A and B are shown apart, each in its own frame.
Chain A
Amino acid sequence: MTYTPRERREAREFYLFVSPWLIGFVVFTAGPMLASALLSFAEWDVITPPRWVGLDNYRALARDPLFWKSLGVTATYTLIAVPLHLTVSLAVAILLNQKVRGLGVFRTIFYLPTVLPGVASLMLWMWIFFPDGLLNAFTGLFGLAPEAWLADERLALPSLIAMSMWGYGSTMLIFLAGLQEIPQHLYEAAEIDGCGRWSKFVHITLPMLSPVIFFNAVTSMIGTFQVFEAGYIATQGGPNNATLFYLLYLFRNAFEYFQMGYACALAWVLFWIIMALTLLVVKSSAAWVYYEGKR
């Protein structure tokens, strides 16, 4: 295949303009990924030179009860938080898609928590969940006994899931954009046919929104598998490892126990788990995601 001088010049310019990103990708993403893949087969404490141990780190993972515990905690968190997150953000998006006065103000208010730094929000929520905090004061009004929300093995994870609902803003915004893309004539036609609100929601809104739901489901799932701050700041993985998220365990191995090789193995296992689950959701999308009215 031959290129004209103009095409060659354009190609040169193309590579010139994308070069900052390409260099950044190779140096800061692909390079470290390759290094971590190699280090996952080594014993390395960051300071002394790495020692090749073959598959030992992966074998140790299979026998490590805390690996399974952290995986279980993270999977449970994902299974509950993702559907809840999608439902709440869709519900709020629908509310914010109504034609009411002061809509801009409402949209701003509902999006506001998303722009707050995660750590600041967590500190706020910790005060709410504190034994002498607002939540116990509120439940006390109904005669309920105070609970140690973050200190009780049964309640700590559900409490962190409740806290995570605070950050629905971005998902909600994508749903809102998706809702506004649905042609009004579909609703008008449905109304002429005598459809009620629920019927319109199930037969028009949901199918038309399914690509957006699919996108949000995949990104939320990836995000929840990488949850870290909540367990690190609010509960330090406790009580009794009830909130030991996978990434928190990975961090501890890397930066507290100086087992960087083992931490790299943990990272790669997580990568393949997320990859497998994403492929599963993508595969399943053929059955429930509609593009232009077609599956």
Chain B
Amino acid sequence: MTRFLKILGWAAALGVVVWAFAGEEEEVIPPGVSVVKFAIWGGVAEREAWAALAEDFHRRNPDVLLRVQMVPGQYEQKMLAMLAADTAPDALILRLADFVPKGVFEPIDERLRRDTSLPLDDLFPGVLALGQWRGKQYAVPSAIGPQVLFYNLRHFEEAGLESPNDLAARGDWDWAKFLDYCRRLVRKDASGKVVRWAYVRYTPPWTYPYLFGGQPFNDDFTAANLTDPRVCEAIQAYADLSLDHNVMPPPALQEQMGGWQAFARGQVSTFISGPWQVKRLKDMADPYDIAPPPMARGGRTITLGGAGAGVWVKSRNKEATYRWLSYLAGPDARRIWAGLGFDIPAYRSLAERVETWADTAIIPKHFRVFYDLAPDLLRSPVATTPFIPAKAEQVINAALEQVWLGRKTVKEALAEAQPEVNEILKKK
């Protein structure tokens, strides 16, 4: 028995050692074939679409096998861990402002210049800038995320409100009109408690100044401009939707209600967001439509996201990885992806033939609004998430908490936040 136990003990110890030092089982890859790993957020809804794209890519590039890693949540944290362990995927999507300075991405200017497969002339002017950082190209963007107003048609009809699209066509759709609409859309019970809100926030507060013609950061995102009167006026106008007019739930309550979720449930009549909501809202009970966002004089809408994937600097298959990114940015892949309701391809030829790729069963009536706004939103400087470091966003949000609590005005809060935000931007 003792002998048996001893053998068992040695076997267990040996097993632990072997297990500890054993590597991952290597996949058998045919000679001459490269494997490219691509990580993207998303879940079940996107899995099939990515599988179809990967298959189509492999058909066109038989020497490359694509492995799509779906990350359902905490994408950035997981990529960070993989980067630290030197096991990052060959292609990944991360904020340029946070990760280019850390040397995560390979510049692709040269490859892009030599790439004859991409119809770059067909892209909307200014789109490529979404994948640039400090003058160098790191990603191939070919989609845009114009921020538009989503509105509940039933609520508008009940309140007897004219379509914002008709008002916009006449040049009568502005922030003042929107505020008037919000007051008429909000519903309260006998005790005065709001039972249906007019508006819920989706985009970060620093995006509102653009609607008012302000610019919260300088052209190359190296300094904040938070004390500019137009910046403060815009964020104050947004904050007043809750503080003064009681048509928007306070932010902490919004966190609980959700943005698009509350709209989909009919608890909120309007919100501003991008084209990816089309897919999410496909089963919404009430009909909805989109319209240009309300703006003050001189304002413009913005694009969020849209940077595209970049090549990991330590990838062993940079050429094959670039080919995948190029395929992904091309009109064929864009058409498949956009047809599922996820984004808006930034190709002029596709913009002219929406009916050839859009799922007409799920798109709202004024779907073209996304394209109508494109020239304006790609005007320099482009306001988009990849250029704002996460910590700078957090500092602005923390400062604005004082506004929600009624302890400070927007001007006071932002004046306090500005030095710290500048410090963060300067370090990049």
Contacts and interface: CB of A to CB of B under 8 A. Distances in A.
Tell me the dominant secondary structure on chain B's binding face: helix
A151 B258 CA distance: 13
Contact of B16 (A20, A150, A151, A241): A20
B9 A46 contact: no
Contacts of A240: 401-402, 404-405
A20 B253 contact: no
A273 interface: no
A45 interface: yes
Nearest to A21: B16
A48 B6 contact: no
Given A20-B16, A151-B255, A238-B255, A13 B102 contact: no
Interface residues of B, number: 34
B398 A150 contact: no
Contact of A19 (B13, B80, B99, B255): B13
Nearest to A152: B252
Contact of A23 (B20, B250, B404, B405): B20
B193 interface: yes
A238 B397 CA distance: 11
Contacts of A46: 80, 83-84
B16 A256 contact: no
Contacts of B204: none
Contacts of A130: 256
B408 to A, nearest CB: 11
A150 B256 CA distance: 8
A235 B16 CA distance: 41
B391 A256 contact: yes
B102 A47 contact: yes
Contacts of A252: 394
A146 B193 contact: yes
Interface string A16-38: 11011001000100000000000
A13 B9 CA distance: 8
Contacts of A255: 76-77, 80
B391 A257 contact: yes
Contacts of B49: none
Contact of B250 (A27, A45, A151, A258): A151
Nearest to A129: B256
Interface in A147-178: 148, 150-153
Interface in A252-273: 252, 255-258
B402 A131 contact: no
Interface in A24-80: 27, 45-48
Interface string B75-98: 011001001100000000000001
Given A46-B84, A148-B252, A257 B103 contact: no
How big is chain A's contact interface, by range? 20 to 34
A258 B98 contact: yes
Contacts of A150: 252, 256
Tell me the dominant secondary structure on chain A's binding face: loop
A258 B80 contact: yes
Given A148-B252, A151-B253, A238-B255, A48 B390 contact: no
A130 B258 CA distance: 12
Contact of A256 (B250, B390, B404): B390
Given A47-B104, A150-B252, A241 B401 contact: yes
Interface string A119-158: 0000000100011000000000000001010111100000
Contact of A17 (B9, B193, B391): B9
Contacts of B250: 148, 151
B187 to A, nearest CB: 14
A161 B404 CA distance: 24
Contacts of B401: 238-241
B257 to A, nearest CB: 8
Nearest to A253: B391
Nearest to B389: A257
> Which of B80, B102, B104, B256 counts the most chain A CB atoms within 10 A?
B256
Nearest to A9: B6
B4 interface: no
Nearest to B98: A258
B102 A236 contact: no
B12 interface: yes
A19 B391 contact: no
A74 to B, nearest CB: 18
Contacts of A16: 9-10, 13
Contact of B390 (A45, A126, A241, A257): A257
Nearest to B2: A13
B330 to A, nearest CB: 30
A20 B253 CA distance: 49
Interface string B48-92: 000000000000000000000000000011001001100000000
A99 B256 CA distance: 44
B12 A20 contact: yes
B386 to A, nearest CB: 15
Nearest to A17: B9
Contacts of A20: 12-13, 16
A50 to B, nearest CB: 11
B10 to A, nearest CB: 7
Contacts of B76: 255-256
Given A47-B103, A48-B102, A48-B103, A256 B255 contact: no
Contact of B404 (A45, A126, A239): A239
> Which of A19, A23, A148, A151 counts the most chain B CB atoms within 10 A?
A151
Interface string A197-236: 0000000000000000000000000000000000000011
A241 B390 CA distance: 17
Contacts of B257: 131
Contacts of B83: 46-47
Interface string B2-21: 00001001101100110010
Nearest to A239: B252
Contact of B84 (A23, A47, A126, A236): A47
A241 B256 contact: no
A220 B77 CA distance: 29
Interface in B240-288: 250-253, 255-257
Interface of A: 13, 16-17, 19-20, 23, 27, 45-48, 126, 130-131, 146, 148, 150-153, 235-236, 238-241, 252, 255-258
17 contacts: A16-B10, A27-B20, A47-B103, A48-B102, A126-B256, A131-B253, A148-B253, A151-B252, A151-B253, A152-B252, A153-B405, A238-B255, A240-B402, A256-B390, A257-B391, A257-B394, A258-B102
Given A19-B13, A240-B404, 4 more contacts: A46-B80, A48-B103, A131-B253, A255-B76
